[in-house]
Amino acid sequence: MARKIVLTSGKGGVGKTTICANLGVALARLNKRVVLVDVDIGLNNLDVVTGVENKIVYDIVDVIEGKCRIKQALIQDINFPNLYIMPSAHSYNKAQVTAENVKKVIEGLNDYFDFVLIDCPAGIDEPFKRAVGGADEALVVVTPHLSSLRDADKVLMILSSYDIKEYSLVVNRVRGDMVLYKEMIDCKKISELLDARLSGVIPEDDNITTFLSVGRTVNKSCESYEAFMMLAKNILGETNKVYDYTEKYRGLFGFFKRALRRKI
Ligand SMILES: Nc1ncnc2c1ncn2[C@@H]1O[C@H](COP(=O)(O)OP(=O)(O)O)[C@@H](O)[C@H]1O
Ligand SMILES: [Mg+2]
């Protein structure tokens, strides 16, 4: 039986798709069978960030409309054989793509995977409901900015009316130097304010934008690599540690790094 986890946030552009792809890779590195399901129908981009956009033959809407079987819509990742992507469609027939039908597709993946990661669209309307309805756990992605915190708070409230048995936070785009200068709210405070457990912290990492725009996920050379591995291990219940985003900015060398970063 797969764990079905939706990545949601309310606000767009906070990193749901980025975290979905990179968490999927991290879990696959830990030998788990993972499928990433893009439920952002119409505005899909999970296929682009995972580099499978040219391999799509069938998508989730084709499965719902009965044009293909579930397995035909799964694309295997080039680097990780136990990672699959179920892409979304550019256009669709609204009448068929209901929350109930999406849930059926997600349930159909149960026997083949350990994890189904659901990439949720922004907003809290119909598309949100379609994505959340198929999940039994949620990771709420938030950035250390007021507008994101407000939206995450709303989403957490809405999630309580769903069948979600477990939820926690992933704080994305954290800058240790700014936190030390007290220019950015720290993650512990975010967790307290939102009254939700912290499952992971992902630092601001320029490699993410560079790598993902060419369809590659982060690797060992990236600052965020360790942070994604820690998030995956926390989700597996193996550890309960989050990335130490201020470490490299502490001490004498850290002070210079901090000062340098402010100059650029
Ligand atoms: N930790 C990060 N560091 C730097 N850039 C990031 C980070 N997380 C996400 N991004 C960038 O932010 C943009 C929006 O991310 P995306 O995952 O598409 O958000 P969402 O799915 O929530 O709309 C992308 O260009 C992505 O590369
Ligand atoms: Mg997205």
pLDDT in tens, 73-91: 999 999 999 999 999 987 7
For 17-46, the pLDDT digits (tens) are: 999 999 999 999 999 999 999 998 877 789
Which pLDDT belongs to residue 250? Answer: 81
**CA 19 from chain center: how many Å?**
3
Nearest atom, ligand 1, residue 141 CA:
22
**Window from 53-67, 93-107, 158-172 with minimum mean pLDDT:** 93-107
As a whole number, the mean pLDDT across the chain is: 92
CA trace torsion 240, 236, 165, 86 (10° rounding): 130
For 89-140, the pLDDT digits (tens) are: 877 777 788 999 999 999 999 999 999 999 999 988 888 999 999 999 999 9
Ligand nearest to the CA of 208: 1
Nearest atom, ligand 1, residue 213 CA:
27
130 CB near ligand 1 (under 6 Å): no
210 CB near ligand 1 (under 6 Å): no
CA-based nearest residue to 157, from 107, 113, 195: 195
Which pLDDT belongs to residue 37? Answer: 97
Which pLDDT belongs to residue 253? Answer: 76
**Window from 54-58, 74-78, 99-103, 254-258 with minimum mean pLDDT:** 254-258
Which pLDDT belongs to residue 248? Answer: 84
Nearest-CA residue for atom 15 of ligand 1: 15
Ligand nearest to the CA of 127: 2
CATH number, domain containing residue 169:
3.40.50.300
Task: Examine the pLDDT at 263 and tell me if it is beyond 70.
Answer: no
- Expressed in angstroms and rounded, the spacing between residue 131 Cα and the centre of ligand 1 is 19
Which pLDDT belongs to residue 260? Answer: 76
How many domains is the chain partitioned into structurally?
A: 1
> Cα–Cα distance between 142 and 150 in angstroms, integer?
9
Query: Both tokens of residue 215?
Result: 């369809």
Task: Examine the pLDDT at 1 and tell me if it is beyond 80.
Answer: yes
Helix (H, G, I), strand (E, B) or coil at 174: strand
Task: Examine the pLDDT at 214 and tell me if it is beyond 90.
Answer: no
DSSP bridge pairs for 76: 84
Which pLDDT belongs to residue 213? Answer: 76
CA-based nearest residue to 164, from 205, 113, 224, 120: 120
Give the domain extent around 110.
3-263
> Cα–Cα distance between 33 and 116 in angstroms, integer?
9
**CA 87 from chain center: how many Å?**
15
Provide the residue type at 44 as one letter: N
Q: Are 202 and 232 in contact (CB under 8 A)?
A: no
Which pLDDT belongs to residue 264? Answer: 61
CA-based nearest residue to 7, from 131, 160, 193: 131
Nearest atom, ligand 1, residue 204 CA:
3
Nearest-CA residue for atom 13 of ligand 1: 13
- Ligand 1 mutation pick, 202, 208, 213, 226, max ligand atoms within 8 A of CB: 208
Of 27 and 253, the structure prediction assigns the larger pLDDT to: 27
Q: What average pLDDT does this structure show over 222-251? A: 94
Of 13 and 213, the structure prediction assigns the larger pLDDT to: 13
Query: What percent of the chain is modeled with pLDDT above 70?
Result: 98
Residue 10 binned pLDDT confidence (cut-offs 50, 70, 90): confident
